[in-house]
Amino acid sequence: MRYNFLGKSELKVSEFALGTMTFGEQNTLADACAQLDYAVAQGVNFIDTAEMYPVPGKAETQGRTEEYVGQWLKTQSRDQLIVATKVAGPARGFGWIRGGPPALDRANIMAAVDASLGRLQTDYIDLYQLHWPDRNVPMFGKIDYDPALEKPTVAIEEQLTVLSELVKCGKVRHIGISNETAWGVAEFLKVSERLGLQRIVSIQNPYNLINRAFEIGLHEMCHREQLSLLAYSPLAFGLLSGKYAQDPQAHGRMTLFSAFGMRYHKPNVPAAVAEYAALARSRGLSPAVLALAFVRSRAFVASTIVGATSMGQLQENLQHIELDAEILKGIEVIHMRYFNPAP
């Protein structure tokens, strides 16, 4: 297992992070503890969760994922683990979270972090992230910014001020953003420098073989500013495992929660997925292993967030495979043929 510094921080995170958004919906507490135990035994020290989890978000399960992680975390050596969680913003309309839709203002961030600390049964959060921007931005499969959707928003200055206070009082060690744009990254950095506030260390955005939009603008920004990408959805909702190509009704998130996979219902996705799967099998690899190894091969990725609903999936996903120059060239050929079919 390799370990990478998270941005300019002193945190060294494992190249794989365990994603937990299935805990409490598709996975029981026993499943969750077994996955966490296995991941840590393989060298994973980084656990990613969120206050809105599990997915799909709903009132009766909200917060259950953090509770499961907390049940396990209280039995562990806390200082050996890096725990990340996220505060939900207003964009998704989750009216059951703090009487929402919750703005990313002082009151909501303070309430959210205290609730997460309680559920996680810990005194501090290593990385506290804004789950998505408070302002109007295209997300989750939408790519075009629409000025007509502008609305009142909480200033980034206010968001950073309260996050900085959380770091100063010890509830949070470092802060990050998620589902952000290049403009948003620039603004967070500009405001933190101008006002002497806490600097973000990471960005958690989707990145996989069929969605490499991060490379356009955000790669350069993060390289020059020494920010790390925490890559989520490296298997594109399970599509890049190849299982849906073999059986469109295979058990998984695409069939259980089809609305959450809408960004992948686009014309060139099936053809691209099929070609990446064929390339993997021609080299004796499973499609999932190829997809994850590609994400891990990118220098700007500090950690690849993997989730699973079964121990078999987790064991496959945590394999350490290095891709040679020939197979990387083959990936680029397919990429040029089907350029970012699911941004």
SS3 content of the chain, % helix, strand, coil (to 5): 40, 15, 40
Does residue 285 sit in helix, strand or coil? coil
- Please give the model's pTM, rounded to 2 decimal places: 0.96
Domain 3-236+301-321 homologous superfamily, CATH: NADP-dependent oxidoreductase domain (3.20.20.100)
What phi, psi does 330 have (nearest 5°)? -60, -35
Tell me, rounded to whole angstroms, the distance of Cα 195 from its chain centroid. Answer: 28
Active site residues: 53
Residues 6+ away with beta carbon under 8 Å from 71: 29, 33, 121
Give the residue extent of every domain in the chain. Answer: 3-236+301-321
With contact defined as beta carbons under 8 Å apart, do 87 and 130 qualify? yes
- Beta-strand relationship, 301-306 and 46-48: unpaired
Give the model's pLDDT for residue 153.
Answer: 94
Q: In this predicted structure, what is the pLDDT of residue 261?
A: 66
Q: What's the confidence (pLDDT) of residue 258?
A: 66
pLDDT score for 179: 96
Residues 134, 104 contacting (CB under 8 angstroms): yes
Cβ of 107: how many Cβ atoms within 10 Å?
A: 11
Give the Å distances, CA to CA, from 112 to 103, 158, 188, 199.
11, 15, 20, 20
Is 153 exposed, middle or buried, given 0-12, 13-18 or 19+ CB atoms closer than 10 A? middle
The count of other CB atoms within 10 Å of the CB of residue 183 is 14
Closest CA to 131 of 95, 178, 164, 84: 178
Collect all residues with Cβ–Cβ distance below 8 Å to 192 and sequence separation of at least 6. 160, 198, 199, 200
Instruction: Write out the H or E segment, with its range, that includes residue 17.
Output: strand 16-19
Q: Do 27 and 39 touch, CB atoms closer than 8 A?
A: no
Q: Residue 312 class from Cβ within 10 Å (0-12 exposed, 13-18 middle, 19+ buried)? A: exposed
Q: Which residues of the chain have pLDDT under 50?
A: none
The reported pLDDT for the residue numbered 50 is 98
The answer to whether the CB of 104 falls within 8 A of the CB of 154 is yes
